[in-house]
Chain A
Amino acid sequence: MKAFATKAAAAAIVVFARAVTAVRAIWPEDGLPSRPCIYFANHSSHGDFVLVWAVLPPRLRNRTRPVAGAEYWLKSRLNRFIGRDVFNAVLITRERDKRTEDPVAQMASTIDTGSSLILFPEGTRNQSDAPLLPFKSGIFHLVTARPDIDLVPVWINNLNRVMPKGEIVPIPLICTVTFGRALRFLPDEAKDAFLARMQSALLALAPKPVGGSE
């Protein structure tokens, strides 16, 4: 019964997301890795992972789990149902002193079970005018623990305009989700160099600003 409810809810959320945003995926020329990988994306809305999840081919989608903040997704029964049951999120505790588990170990063991991750390395939703916030170091610690994993940059465009923070009604604008070529951690790469390389690979996927604005 519950399995059916989560399947139906997942399908309904995907249909709704597609109907509102007419979302279109842009794939890299050589396709997505077929092995488990880390999709890392820019973060501006709670709907971000839904959009990535919705455009992934079902075969890959079924074993892809978003990484999300436990504080938000365990807040209410509905949040719990959507975050934990429907999307099977890997829930990590943001505040260091409240942690019972190490987030990097949680993510690494999820990868070991054959799952891919959707990760937002900015750590929080970007409300600034800058295209991207500086990455947190979690993704670096994760790849030093699992250095062979493919890292796929994913740029989500326009969703912040569809549903800005604090609004209730979504504006049906067209969103695109652009997947880049898979990257790897280089042996002995320093933390700052690695994070800078990941940030610029992600930013390279962002479309030039439209609207004729300066």
Chain B
Amino acid sequence: MSAASSDLLTLVAGIFGVLILASTVGYVLQQRLSPAGSNASIENLNARIKAWWIMVVLIGIAFVAGRVGVLILFGFCSFAALREFVTLINTRRADHWALATAFFIVVPVQYYLLWAEEYGIFSIFIPVYAFLLMPIISVLRGDTERFLIRIAEVQWALMICVFCASHVPALLTLNIPGYEGRNVLLIAFLVIVVQLSDVLQYVWGKLFGHTKIAPKLSPSKTVEGFVGGVLSATLIGAALWWITPFTPGEAGLLAFIITLMGFFGGLVMSAIKRDRGIKDWGNLIEGHGGLIDRLDSVVFSAPIFFHIVRYWWSL
């Protein structure tokens, strides 16, 4: 058994342990406080834990299937996230072909470029080519009503849901000396730290939170939750150094950076939801809301994490 797969097994065992613990706690809380399903917070907590099991199993299957599996998983995530996003933006009939291009050409091409390991074109395909070609496709219909808003929103949707999200599987393309064949663990590190940070901010906030940190954007986020969540996720990141090419100190620093990015990403996406007058991006994940609700923090941290690792660690 290779070092990568034995590390992955240890990691999977650890995650299953955490989920079993979470499910047990959820079950006990339900039996004690909400036996008839009357406590909405506890019902939601249990729905979330159940959804976590499904998400962990899906990611696990993708990891076992290897590079193609991970690309397909994140390709579908981009597609579903783009669908949630575009559903909420200003579009007019004149944007029909531009939107069809976004869904059926831009998404597959971006992930094809990752598969082909064409880093140069991968990193500029959406910021340059899509950025220039999408408004051209829209303008050909001659409808100028709210034109700037329409093209800007579609570009934003592509940047967030496709470009940024594709930087998670892009970690597989990095060539880090002494870390060959283990890149999938970098994805695990990023996703675990950022998602645990979200969960821990929620837990710390529920237990000790009383000072609201951004009352206008996200009334449930508190200073206590933020500090406790970021610090504990940073410590967990440092403790996971053995699955990364980093030293424990470096792993902690990177974990700190990506949890901060994830936190602010959550705020930005909340502001967009408020602007559009919605509570959740969709209903794809029971208890969590839409896919973007779960992915927002990962999307904001992935490109930064990717570029830091690419600049300082990869060839």
Docked CA distance A164–B96 (Å): 8
Known: A173-B83, A173-B87, A174-B84. A208 touches B277 (CB 8 A): yes
Taken together as a complex, chains A and B put the C-alpha atoms of A182 and B197 apart, in Å, by 46
Given A161-B91, A211-B90, A213-B146, A171 and B99 touching (CB < 8 A)?
A: yes
Interface residue tally for chain A (C-beta within 8 Å): 16
> Across the interface, which residues of B come within 8 angstroms of A171, CB to CB?
86, 96, 99-100, 103
Bound-state CA distance A167–B95 (Å) is 11
In the assembled complex, the CB of A175 is this many whole angstroms from the nearest CB of chain B, namely: 9
Known: A167-B96, A173-B83, A174-B83. Contact between A211 and B276, CB under 8 A?
Answer: yes
Contact of B87 (CB < 8 Å), options: A158, A164, A169, A208? A158
Interface residues of A in 149-165 (CB under 8 A from B): 158, 161, 164
Chain B residue nearest in CB terms to A209: B277
Q: Of A174, A208, A211, A212, which one neighbours B282 at CB under 8 angstroms?
A: A174
Contacts of B90 in A (CB 8 A): 211-213
Flag whether B275 is at the interface (Cβ < 8 A): yes
How far does the alpha carbon of A24 sit from the alpha carbon of B283 in the complex, in Å? Answer: 9
What is the CA–CA distance of A22 and B282 in the complex, to the nearest angstrom? 10
**In the bound complex, how far is the Cα of B276 from the Cα of A179, in angstroms?**
23
Is A123 part of the contact surface with B, judged by Cβ < 8 Å? no
In the complex, A208→B279 CA distance in Å?
Answer: 13
Within 8 A of B (CB), among A164-191: 164, 167, 169, 171-174
Choice from A22, A161, A210 contacting B277 with Cβ under 8 Å: A210
Known: A172-B103, A208-B277, A211-B276. Contact between A164 and B93, CB under 8 A? yes
Question: Within the complex, what minimum Cβ distance (angstroms) separates A171 from chain B?
Answer: 5
Chain A neighbourhood of B278, CB < 8 A: 210
CB distance from A50 to the nearest CB of B (A): 19
Q: List B contacts of A158 (CB < 8 A).
A: 87
Q: Which among B79, B88, B99, B284 is the interface contact of A210 at CB below 8 angstroms?
A: B88
Nearest neighbor of A167 in chain B, beta-carbon distance: B96
Nearest chain-A residue to B150 (Cβ)? Answer: A211
Of A158, A208, A212, A213, the most chain B CB neighbours within 10 A belong to: A212
Say whether B311 faces chain A, with CB atoms less than 8 Å apart.
Answer: no
In the complex, B89 has a CB within 8 A of chain A:
yes
Instruction: Tell me the minimal C-beta distance from B25 to chain A in angstroms.
Output: 30
Task: Give the CA-CA distance A208 to B88 in the complex, in Å.
Answer: 12
Contacts of B283 in A (CB 8 A): 24
Nearest 4 pairs of A and B residues by beta carbon? A211-B90, A174-B87, A169-B100, A171-B99
Q: A24-B283, A169-B100 are in contact. List 20 more A-B contacts (CB 8 A).
A: A22-B80, A22-B282, A22-B284, A161-B91, A164-B96, A169-B97, A171-B86, A171-B100, A171-B103, A172-B79, A172-B83, A173-B83, A173-B87, A174-B84, A208-B277, A210-B88, A210-B278, A211-B89, A211-B90, A213-B90
A-B contact list, 13 entries, CB within 8 Å: A22-B80, A22-B83, A22-B284, A167-B93, A169-B97, A171-B99, A172-B83, A173-B87, A174-B87, A208-B277, A211-B89, A211-B91, A212-B90
